[in-house]
Amino acid sequence: MASLRKASKSHARSYRERSQPSSRAHLGFLEKKKDYKERAEDFQRKQNTLKHLKRKALNRNPDEFYFNMVKTQKVDGVHQEKEETEPVHTEAELKLMFSQDQKYVTMKRTSELNKIERLKSSLHLLDNDTGPRNKHIVFVDTDKEVKEFDAAKYFGTHPSLVNRRFNRPSLENLKKLELRGNLNEADLKKVSKEKEQRYRELAKRIQREKDLHVIQQKMEMKKNVMSKKEKCTKLKEETKTSAPVYRWRHKRKR
């Protein structure tokens, strides 16, 4: 008999649920029994939770003391946990960590300055705006010599090399120079491209050095505010390109 029951089940028609009609396809999939059961159980669970919370609120004694009340405060009628006022680090530890950060920034800025100087020397940028402006004064006797003065003839060099303050060869040395091999157009393009890359790198490093300098100034000012115990007045807020400005009361030294 058991074998007959199993055989009848194997040949039985499989259970299939009705699908969503084509006229109601815009409403999505048709909800099956398992979907309804899952949704109903979730709804009942939430309703039971709300009932439990309401019953707990009604049975609560307003005069009852809880130890958590010591750590909470009321903000706009809502209880919130108080923030811990005890600092994580001591003042000495903060100063030590801050000094280490400041040393790192100073080291990185010094490294950038050295790289900038090496790039400038390789690109022959000795005549920069930050350096001193030197002048070569030539004295003549008459006004006629002033008008007819020829710097290239006076220095004995080519007119295109007059404004150079370095590596200014004379005409005799230029005549002695012999060009070894002719550079083709591909080599010239390669040299020009490499030069442009060097200039772009130099511009980026100069901007990075400026940013590090601003960070160094801000950290130095913050260190002064932390180290000095006297009250100070802030005269100017800090910006992206400048550190804040503080003023301390002048104290006469004994």
The pLDDT tens digits of the residues spanning 55-83 come to 999 998 878 887 877 778 888 888 787 77
- Of residues 127 and 221, more confidence is placed in 221
**Which amino acid type is present at position 195?**
K
**How confident is residue 47, by pLDDT bands cut at 50, 70 and 90?**
very high
pLDDT at 126 over 60: no
DSSP states along 96-162: HHHHHHHHHHHHHHHHHHHHHHHHHHHTT--S-SSS---------SSHHHHHT--HHHHHTS-GGGT
Question: How confident is the model at residue 238, as a pLDDT?
Answer: 83
**How confident is residue 124, by pLDDT bands cut at 50, 70 and 90?**
low
Question: How confident is the model at residue 40, as a pLDDT?
Answer: 97
Tens-digit pLDDT profile for residues 71-118: 788 888 887 877 766 666 677 767 777 788 888 889 999 999 999 988
Classify residue 74 as exposed, middle or buried by CB count within 10 Å of its CB (0-12, 13-18, 19+): exposed
Q: What is the mean pLDDT of residues 124-147?
A: 67
% of the chain exceeding 90 in pLDDT: 14
Question: Taking the mean position of all CA atoms in its chain, how far away is CA 142?
Answer: 62
CB 119 within 8 A of CB 198: yes
Q: Pick from 158, 176, 175: which is nearest to 167 by CA?
A: 158
